[in-house]
A = this chain, B = another copy of it.
C-alpha cells in the first residue's frame, strides 16, 4: 500500500475549502475539519480523511442537510434533548457537548441526548471537549446497524462507540472504542488494502464467520444479514453478550433518551436518523478536583509501570498512543493512503477545486478504483 504524506495545514486547507464548497460557513467548515483531522492526527485513520466520501454522499443524497440547525426540544438543569434536524453530525455534536459542559459546570453533571443527526466522526473528540474544560466527558453514538447481537444473524445495533476522557498528567485518560470487536471503518480499510479480515471480526449473511471485508460491507449496506461481532466474540463463552450489553448502554443514551431512531431503524428509506449521547461530570462534585487528578495520574503511571507480559514492549494507558501519534504527525505530517487520496482528488473535481494545488501531482497508478466511480 502506498501512502502520500501531507502536513496538517495542507489537509486542513483542503478540508475547510471542500466543506465551504458544500455550502457550510467558514466557521462550520473549520469545526467539521477540526473533528475529522483530530482522528487522522490521533492515528485513527478509519475516521478521518477516509470518511470524506461518506459525508459527500450523505450531502448529495440529502441525508445531511447543510443548512439545518440543532434545536433544544426539552431541557432541565441537568439535561437536554436536541433535535439535529438531519444536519451535519459534527456541528450538532459540538453544540450538544457545549450544552452538556455548560450545564455540568452549573449543576455538577449533565446528559444531552441527540436525535436526527448524522455520523459525527470520532466520539472521542466530544469527550475530549469536556476533558479540556476539566470535566469527565462521555460521548456515544449509534449508527447504521452493523453489530449482530449474540445468537442473532442480523445486524441490529450500530458500532455504538463509547468514549470517555478524564483529566490526568502528563496526558489525559482518553478511551474511545466501538462496542463491536472493530469498527466498520476498519473493515473499509481492509477492503481498500484488499486484505482478508482477521478471524473473529465478522459474520456473513448466514451468521457464519467471514473474512471477506467487501462481502460483509455490502451485506451491511444491503441489510442482507451478517455484520460485525460484538466485543467479546459471537458466543457467550468469551463474553459476546457483554459487548452487546455495552452496545445497549450506548443505545439508551442515544436513541432511547432522545426519542430518536434505534440503530436498526436508521439509514432506511432515504432517512439517516443517527442519535448521540453526551455526558459531562464536574469532578468537584466529589470534593477536591485537583487532588483527584493527581491520584488518577498516579494510578495511570502505576499501570504503565506494571510488569510487562513476556515479549511486550510497553503497557499503554488509554489515550497514550493518540498523544504519541499526535506529536509525531503534527511535526512530521500525516500519511494518507493512496486510495483515500484518489477519493480526495475526485472530490476536488466534483467541487471544482484544483486537485494539484491541494494534493500535489500524485501518481495514482497504485490506487484501486475510487469509491466515487
Interface residues of A (CB under 8 A from B): 74, 76-79, 81, 107-109, 111, 113, 136, 148-154, 156, 164, 166, 173, 175, 177, 179, 181-182, 198, 200, 206-208, 225, 231-234, 237-239, 241-246, 248-249, 251-252, 255-259, 262, 264, 281, 283, 285-287, 291-292, 295-296, 299, 302-303, 306-310, 312-318
Cross-chain contact A257 with B242 (CB below 8 angstroms): no
The smallest beta-carbon distance between A228 and chain B, in angstroms, is 11
Q: Chain B residues near A281 (CB, 8 Å)?
A: 111
Q: Looking at the complex, which one of B148, B153, B309, B314 makes contact with A310 (CB distance below 8 Å)?
A: B153
Cross-chain contact B310 with A208 (CB below 8 angstroms): yes
Q: Which 3 A/B pairs are nearest by Cβ-Cβ distance?
A: A79-B285, A207-B309, A151-B312
Cross-chain contact A292 with B175 (CB below 8 angstroms): no
Q: Which residue of B lies closest to A161 (CB)?
A: B242
Cross-chain contact B76 with A108 (CB below 8 angstroms): yes
A149 vs B164: C-alpha distance when bound (angstroms): 18
Cross-chain contact B306 with A149 (CB below 8 angstroms): yes
A153, A225, A313 — most chain B CB neighbours (10 Å): A153
Q: Which residue of B lies closest to A179 (CB)?
A: B242
- Also in contact, A283 and B303, with CB within 8 A (given A151-B308, A231-B231, A318-B241): no
Q: Which residue of B lies closest to A181 (CB)?
A: B239
Q: Which residue of B lies closest to A237 (CB)?
A: B198
Q: Chain B residues near A207 (CB, 8 Å)?
A: 309-310
The smallest beta-carbon distance between A176 and chain B, in angstroms, is 9
A225 vs B308: C-alpha distance when bound (angstroms): 10
Cross-chain contact B315 with A151 (CB below 8 angstroms): yes
- Also in contact, A256 and B299, with CB within 8 A (given A232-B232, A310-B206): yes
Cross-chain contact A248 with B173 (CB below 8 angstroms): yes
Cross-chain contact A177 with B239 (CB below 8 angstroms): yes
A255 vs B302: C-alpha distance when bound (angstroms): 15
Cross-chain contact A259 with B242 (CB below 8 angstroms): no
Q: Chain B residues near A156 (CB, 8 Å)?
A: 302-303, 306
Q: Chain B residues near A251 (CB, 8 Å)?
A: 299
The smallest beta-carbon distance between A318 and chain B, in angstroms, is 5
A208 vs B312: C-alpha distance when bound (angstroms): 12
Q: Chain B residues near A77 (CB, 8 Å)?
A: 107-108
Q: Chain B residues near A318 (CB, 8 Å)?
A: 241, 244-245, 248
Q: Looking at the complex, which one of B152, B232, B296, B316 makes contact with A151 (CB distance below 8 Å)?
A: B316
